[in-house]
């Protein structure tokens, strides 16, 4: 038997693959959940769980100072500093049209229905529960939370080095409906003048993403002066919702500590880390499906094999 900590997308995907697993989620059932852009590089996730994904062609651009621009070092650095606070290569460099796979708009709802009856909402996991748990555990909860729980449970269990600072920033997501639209487009906004960093149209849904827990682009009453001009929209778009995502952006931690902690979780506590937050690394949901297969194998392997995997 298996239990899953965390009922976000990674936890729900694991729940679909481990069909008898109990899922514990700290948030209530009707919390906002993931609302940012969600695209897949292949149909593998949909194929694995039996949900049809639509293959689309995505077009991209960069908007700054009231016009489109080509990628360059300055814009790349402005964008990188805007979204993660330091210089690093980001996807803004590549504006080539690309094929992507789009899940249905109710994708998360479908995942929840497939795990219905096995999810316990509003259930934050405690150190005492971990200590008493006899089943194997898949954890998609933030590694920062798990590290504190393990430290409370057994101060000798975490690695000898101090627990790192898990830096993360919230994002704010605003969504609008554009009647009659059926396009797939993304525009990057590297300007430091406001906190809007990306906006995308997926079918008829416009999704704007802002760094931080508020929107500071007030150049129009619609909070979308740049968006409207960049996409060439009229004023017929209809506001759907505005939500905050606490772990919108995560910063890297010491990789040696991260790998050692993942190994100690699996070796000492039968806890297998999964997903972007569970492993504290920026990965795609396509990768989560592969990692679920790896976890299935590791659950039945030796400590030696687990150590080899954690070192990767």
Answer yes or no: is 46 within a domain: no
Q: What number of CA atoms fall less than 13 Å from residue 34's CA on the CB side?
A: 19
Rounded Cα gap, residues 111 and 27, in angstroms: 16
Answer yes or no: is 304 within a domain: yes
- Express each pLDDT in 133-160 by its tens digit: 999 999 999 999 999 999 888 766 555 5
Answer yes or no: is 40 within a domain: no
CA distances from 4 to 163, 169, 192 (A): 23, 25, 40
Answer yes or no: is 274 within a domain: yes
Answer yes or no: is 238 within a domain: yes
Range with the poorest average pLDDT among 90-94, 120-124, 187-191, 305-309: 305-309
137 and 119 in a common domain:
yes
Domain-terminating residue out of 198, 216, 250:
250
Domain-terminating residue out of 250, 280, 299:
250
3-state secondary structure of 13: helix
Number of domains in the chain: 2
261 and 243 in a common domain:
no
175 and 237 in a common domain:
yes
In CATH, what number is assigned to the domain containing residue 227? 3.30.9
Answer yes or no: is 67 within a domain: yes
151 and 114 in a common domain:
yes
183 and 277 in a common domain:
no
235 and 270 in a common domain:
no
Nearest-CA neighbor of 292 among 36, 2, 10, 68? 10
- Express each pLDDT in 27-52 by its tens digit: 998 775 667 778 899 999 999 999 99
261 and 172 in a common domain:
no
User: End-to-end alpha-carbon separation of the chain, Å?
Assistant: 27
Answer yes or no: is 45 within a domain: no
Answer yes or no: is 204 within a domain: yes
Domain-terminating residue out of 229, 250, 271:
250
Residue 303 structural domain: 2-35+106-165+251-310
Q: What is the pTM of this model?
A: 0.88
150 and 90 in a common domain:
no
- Express each pLDDT in 154-209 by its tens digit: 766 555 568 899 988 899 999 999 999 999 999 999 999 989 999 999 999 999 99
Nearest-CA neighbor of 201 among 230, 243, 222? 230
Range with the poorest average pLDDT among 41-45, 51-55, 275-279, 299-303: 299-303
160 and 123 in a common domain:
yes
Rounded Cα gap, residues 68 and 249, in angstroms: 26
174 and 98 in a common domain:
yes
Looking at the chain, the whole-number percentage of residues with pLDDT higher than 90 is 70
**Could you tell me if 285 and 45 are in contact, meaning their C-beta atoms sit under 8 angstroms apart?**
yes
135 and 62 in a common domain:
no
What is the pLDDT at residue 221?
A: 42
In CATH, what number is assigned to the domain containing residue 147? 3.40.50.720
Q: What is the DSSP string of 115-163?
A: TTTSEE-S----HHHHHH--SEEEE-S-HHHHHHHHHHH-TTSS-SSPP
Nearest-CA neighbor of 307 among 268, 254, 253? 268
245 and 151 in a common domain:
no
């Amino acid at each position: 038997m298996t239990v899953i900590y965390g009922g976000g997308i990674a936890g729900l995907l694991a729940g679909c693959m481990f069909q008898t697993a109990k899922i514990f989620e700290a948030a209530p059932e009707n919390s906002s959940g993931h609302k940012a852009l969600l695209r897949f590089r292949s149909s593998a996730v949909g194929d694995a769980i039996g949900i049809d994904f639509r293959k689309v062609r995505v077009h991209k651009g960069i908007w700054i100072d009231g016009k489109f621009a080509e990628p360059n070092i300055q814009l790349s650095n402005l964008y990188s500093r805007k979204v993660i606070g330091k210089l690093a290569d980001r996807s803004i460099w590549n504006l080539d049209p690309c094929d992507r796979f789009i899940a249905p708009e109710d994708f998360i709802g479908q995942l929840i229905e497939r795990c219905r009856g096995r999810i316990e909402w509003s259930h934050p996991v405690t150190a005492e529960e971990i200590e008493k748990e006899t089943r194997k555990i898949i954890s998609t909860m933030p590694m920062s939370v798990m590290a504190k729980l393990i430290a409370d449970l057994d101060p000798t269990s975490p690695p000898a080095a101090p627990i790192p600072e898990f830096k993360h920033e919230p994002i704010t997501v605003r969504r609008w409906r554009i009647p009659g639209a059926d396009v797939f487009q993304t525009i990057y906004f590297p300007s430091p003048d406001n906190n809007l960093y990306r906006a995308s149209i997926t079918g008829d849904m416009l999704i704007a993403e802002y760094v931080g827990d508020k929107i500071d682009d007030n150049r129009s009453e619609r909070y979308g002066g740049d968006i409207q001009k960049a996409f060439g929209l009229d004023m017929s778009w209809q506001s759907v919702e505005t939500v905050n995502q606490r772990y919108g952006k995560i910063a890297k931690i010491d990789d040696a500590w991260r790998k050692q902690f993942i190994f100690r979780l699996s070796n000492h506590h039968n806890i297998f880390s999964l997903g972007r937050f569970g492993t504290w690394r920026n990965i795609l949901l396509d990768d989560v499906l592969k990692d679920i297969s790896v976890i299935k194998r590791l659950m039945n392997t030796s400590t030696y094999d687990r150590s080899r995997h954690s070192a990767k």
